[in-house]
């Protein structure tokens, strides 16, 4: 049994070091990606549920190395975070997103843009200054920018980090909005909503109700409906806006409207799109 245990350890170690190797290879290739123009920002519409107009977009990064298929963020954001590369990459996404949406504003489509911010970025002492610089250089009004943070951004080993809070307070003081992303997937979320400097809650897609499993019943799964309703009511009580993500069906849209959710985002309306395609939606009669 002892020998078998040792063999397993060896296999485990080998798997671990192969994984580490893969991560460091990714990091090496990613390092030059900005300079090689391989990073792209896609934009997914945010739809106001009251009238189903497109009132914003979420900026979502893609990586397109020359001659290869496009790489989704889940395949490289973790490595970018581990290595610290997320700091220059995140700043690039921010600047690019502000530029694109400022151009839409100049064409009289005054939508908001929501940009994902990694914990590492908020630990930089000059993060707020980076955001102000991106706004100034692009001409985008501060009120048109939402920064999406996850609960993890604000907590390092159980402690809310002062630096992150100070950045968010400074930014909000100038009109920038803050949204808690993937709400409900972490823990101690309720205290965060009360204590943190935030404006919106994004309801994680794992909460979107599927059809009911109850035989003979139509309508959404009652447990999922209860969860979504609780989050929306809680946010409303705290005067926070609500954005539902991962909305894929008309039934989900109808339920979210009934429950008073402000905005929705998901494949039901549109996938993340290149800037030009998102801009076309803004000018179309159905959306704009």
Other beta carbons within 10 angstroms of residue 40's beta carbon come to: 15
121 binds Ca ion (CB under 5 A): no
Q: Which does 38 bind (CB under 5 to 8 A by kind): Ca ion, ligand C2E, none?
A: none
Residue 230 · residue 189 · CB < 8 Å: no
- Report the residue number, 56 or 266, with the smaller CB distance to ligand C2E: 266
**Residue whose structure tokens are 């980076």:** 130
CB of 218 to Ca ion, least distance (A): 28
Tell which one of 91, 272, 275, 281 touches ligand C2E (CB under 6 A): 272
Query: Quick one: which of 37, 19, 148 has its CA closest to 82?
Result: 19
Tell which one of 116, 121, 138, 252 touches Ca ion (CB under 5 A): 116
CA atoms of 205 and 266, how far apart (whole Å)? 9
- Report the residue number, 6 or 41, with the smaller CB distance to ligand C2E: 41
Burial class of residue 145, CB neighbours in 10 A (0-12, 13-18, 19+) = buried
- Interface characters, 61-100, with ligand C2E (x: CB under 6 A): x----------xxx--x--------x---x--x-------
Q: How many residues does the chain have?
A: 288
Pairing of strands 273-274, 39-48: antiparallel
119 binds ligand C2E (CB under 6 A): no
- Interface characters, 39-68, with ligand C2E (x: CB under 6 A): -----x---------------xx-------
182 binds Ca ion (CB under 5 A): yes
- Report the residue number, 44 or 242, with the smaller CB distance to ligand C2E: 44
CA 39 to chain centroid = 17
- Report the residue number, 151 or 182, with the smaller CB distance to ligand C2E: 182
The footprint of Ca ion on residues 137-176 (CB under 5 A) is 148
The footprint of Ca ion on residues 207-226 (CB under 5 A) is none
Residue 208 · residue 246 · CB < 8 Å: yes
Long-range CB pairs of 268-273 (<8 Å, 24+ gap) are 269/45, 269/47, 269/54, 270/44, 270/45, 271/44, 272/42, 272/43, 272/44, 272/58, 272/60, 272/62, 273/42, 273/43, 273/44, 273/45
Query: Quick one: which of 55, 46, 146, 45 has its CA closest to 94?
Result: 146
The footprint of ligand C2E on residues 207-246 (CB under 6 A) is 245-246
- Report the residue number, 91 or 245, with the smaller CB distance to Ca ion: 245
Q: Which does 74 bind (CB under 5 to 8 A by kind): Ca ion, ligand C2E, none?
A: ligand C2E
CA atoms of 122 and 171, how far apart (whole Å)? 12
Report how many residues bind ligand C2E under the rule CB under 6 A. Answer: 23
Chain positions contacting Ca ion, by CB under 5 A? 116, 148, 181-182, 245
Chain positions contacting ligand C2E, by CB under 6 A? 44, 60-61, 72-74, 77, 86, 90, 93, 116, 118, 181-182, 205, 245-248, 265-267, 272
């Amino acid at each position: 049994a002892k020998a078998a245990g040792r063999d397993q350890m060896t296999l485990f170690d080998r798997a671990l070091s192969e994984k580490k190797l893969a991560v460091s290879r990714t990091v090496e290739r990613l390092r030059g990606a900005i300079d090689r123009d391989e990073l792209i920002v896609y934009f997914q519409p945010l739809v106001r549920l009251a009238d189903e107009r497109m009132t914003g977009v979420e900026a979502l990064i893609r990586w397109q190395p020359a001659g290869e298929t496009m790489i989704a963020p889940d395949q490289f954001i973790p490595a970018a975070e581990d290595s610290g590369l997320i700091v220059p990459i995140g700043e690039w996404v921010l600047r690019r997103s502000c530029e694109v949406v400022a151009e839409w504003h100049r064409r009289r489509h005054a939508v908001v843009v929501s940009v994902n911010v990694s914990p590492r970025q908020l630990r930089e002492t000059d993060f707020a200054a980076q955001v102000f610089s991106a706004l100034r250089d692009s001409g985008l009004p501060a009120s048109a920018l939402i920064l999406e943070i996850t609960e993890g951004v604000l907590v390092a080993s159980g402690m809310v980090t002062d630096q992150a809070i100070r950045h968010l307070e400074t930014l909000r003081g100038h009109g920038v909005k803050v949204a808690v992303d993937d709400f409900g997937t972490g823990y101690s979320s309720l205290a965060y909503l009360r204590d943190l400097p935030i404006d919106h809650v994004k309801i994680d897609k794992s909460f979107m109700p599927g059809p009911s499993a109850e035989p003979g019943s139509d309508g959404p799964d009652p447990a999922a409906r209860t969860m979504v309703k609780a989050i929306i009511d809680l946010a409303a009580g705290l005067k926070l806006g609500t954005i539902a993500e991962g909305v894929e069906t008309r039934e989900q849209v109808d339920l979210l409207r009934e429950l008073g959710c402000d905005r929705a985002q998901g494949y039901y309306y549109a996938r993340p799109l290149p800037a030009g395609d998102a801009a076309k939606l803004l000018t179309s009669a159905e959306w704009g």
